Amino acid sequence: MRFLITAGPTREYLDDVRFLTNASSGRMGYALARAALASGYQVTLVSGPVAIAPPDGCDFVPVRTTQELLEACERVWPECAGVIGAAAVCDYRPKIRATGKMKKTGGPLLLELVETPDVLAALGRQKENQFVVGFALESQDARENALRKLRGKRCDAIVLNAPTAIDADENTIELIDRHGVTAGEWSGSKTDIADRLIAWISQNLIGPASDDL
């Protein structure tokens, strides 16, 4: 049985050397990959640029942009029992990417942004007897926004955490199931939270690990 796990940030390029991104370290997604492998699952880890080596034994797919992340996930999605979307995806990209390196002009630069693809929602629309677990990093109206994402992306559960999780070794999360009910509230290292989340998915979304997928 194979899990698809996304991790790390994506980059959206302004020109050939500059890009928009965020401070995601990838630690949560990589911890989930290690926990899933330790529990007997096969893992495809699709990751944006991070300073962490992928766990031994996973199928590793490096990506940079959100579009690359979407395409990589869609290629393997039919082979997977489910997805855990822990990547910190850029929500916007420059409408026009400049060629080469932009030069200073002495005046202001106006940057027009457009939305990037919603990777988890795309997988949710395509799922067939597969689970979708998302992450929601929220600072305002946190639970309400997490519930909106849960329903809008056709998730079976969503992990709510705060901006303090970014580039941190520890985290505090609320796990919300498909009915909007709190299934767990955990604090600790990202490794510990990953172990708990994989165990919960095993017990509540798929049953025991097998080699069927």
User: What CA–CA distance (Å, rounded) separates 47 from 63?
Assistant: 6
Q: Any idea which residue has 């928009």 for tokens?
A: 20
Catalytic residue among 22, 145, 171, 204: 22
Phi then psi for 189, rounded to 5 degrees?
-70, 155
22 labelled catalytic: yes
What are the counts of helices (DSSP H) followed by strands (DSSP E) for the chain? 5, 12
Nearest alpha-carbon partner for 52 in 73, 70, 33: 33
Amino acid at 85: G
CA distance 116 to 179: 28
Q: Which stretch of DSSP H or E encloses residue 92?
A: strand 92-94
Strand 82-85 and strand 12-13: pairing?
unpaired
Q: Where are the beta strands (DSSP E) in 42-144?
A: 42-47, 59-62, 82-85, 92-94, 113-115, 131-137
Closest by CA to 32, choosing from 16, 19, 43, is 43
The answer to whether 50 and 8 are in contact (CB under 8 A) is yes
Q: Which residues are catalytic?
A: 22
